[in-house]
Structure 1
Amino acid sequence: MIYWDLFFGFLRVGCFAFGGAYGAIPLIREVALSYGWLDDEAISYMIAVSESTPGPIMINLATYVGSSQAGLWGAVLATLAVVLPSFLIILLVMAVLKTLFQNSRIQAVVRGLKPCVVGIILATGVSMTVSSCLGQEGSPDLRACLITAVLAAVMIGFRQLRGSRLSPILLILLSAVLGLAAYGGGIP
């Protein structure tokens, strides 16, 4: 039954999504592909839309997939399932917070997980960049490569000139403008 599949598929994502939304993207991709809910191209589009809309990416993706597969109740179940593990863990952590983080073993686990999370996020970004530039048919999408290069240059240049990071909101807006120019009829 689709409701059980949505619930347990996104419960699995919620249970193993260390590092937040960007760390969860490979898990969401795996679940969506294994059940046949979305293909790679649709997942890439939904990641872009989820990053551009308010709210956590993981919840936005779960809600979209649930809605596209089973309507309102599918969206509710997928969203509940992806949030439930974090909610329960936070409740547990709050109950034992003072003693838990004083334990040196727990501190060691948390310190050990940080590089793993950075690696997962980096691998996801590189994978998305490569698949975006290669295109779905295997032929290079030069517009996507150009947009990626422009955004990287702007981000690096801003940091070099100003000594601070460019706001992610400005990068999203710039990427939207570049996307409209490149794919919306502005650039052939």
Structure 2
Amino acid sequence: MILLQLFIEFFKVGLFSIGGGLATLPFLYHLSDTMQWFTHADIVNMIAIAESTPGAIGINMSTYAGFTTAGFFGAVIASIGLAAPSVIIILVIANLLKKFKENKHVQSAFLGLRPASLAMIAAAGISVVKVSLVNIPAFEQTGQVLDLFVLPAILLGVVLYILSKKTKWNPIVLIALSAAAGIIFQFAGA
């Protein structure tokens, strides 16, 4: 039963997350809240893993979520569920899109979808910041403004941003440095 639920839920995510892998994040947060298959902190881990592994972020995240929920078969079913709508839609409308791509209503619809995708990605980004860089429970306990922020993570983010702009290092190097810093400075408690 859980595998069918995974397929249905990730099929819906794949059907409505227009804008790429990061656009799946609001749907994943919704699944976290409604199905309790994984936590918001798990989603941040999904992002870290999905961004640092080869492949499409949406598929990587669905694989991780499915595995977390129901093991190997959950990973496979969630990934198939996420990809299925795109495959079906492309197969059905490939010829129609070619015929209608110059249609002003079709162009207007695609232009209208851009702000929706941006808003979903921005909302997901804000949620990631809340989990990764802000510690509201610590702030509520102490009332100290500095306790509100996860300073090691913020500092690491600033350093990695500067390195990405000042060097021509491969992003893999930056990801490896970030993982090493997390281990060395024990970010688990952040």
**What interval of TM-score do these two structures reach, taking the shorter chain for normalisation?**
0.7 to 0.9
2:147 matched to 1:144? no
Structure 2 unpaired stretches of 5+: 139-146
Provide the residue aligned with 1:124 in structure 2: 124
Structure 1 unpaired stretches of 5+: none
- Separation in structure 1 between the aligned mates of residue 169 and residue 136 of structure 2, nearest angstrom: 30
Runs (4+) of structure 1 exceeding 3 A deviation are 135-140, 152-155, 165-171
Aligned length: 179
Q: TM-score, normalised by structure 1?
A: 0.81
Letter in 1 for 2:151: L
Cα contact 2:26–2:123 (8 A) shared by 1: no
Deviation of 1:24 after TM superposition, in Å, equals: 0.8
- Separation in structure 2 between the aligned mates of residue 113 and residue 153 of structure 1, nearest angstrom: 33
Deviation of 1:8 after TM superposition, in Å, equals: 1.2
Q: How does 1:29-178 map to 2 (within 5 A)?
A: 29-135=29-135, 137-138=137-138, 139=147, 140-155=149-164, 157-158=165-166, 168-178=171-181
Q: TM-score, normalised by structure 2?
A: 0.81
Moved more, 19-28 or 131-140: 131-140
Aligned residues: CA RMSD: 2.5
Provide the residue aligned with 1:183 in structure 2: 186
Cα contact 2:2–2:70 (8 A) shared by 1: yes
Deviation of 1:42 after TM superposition, in Å, equals: 1.6
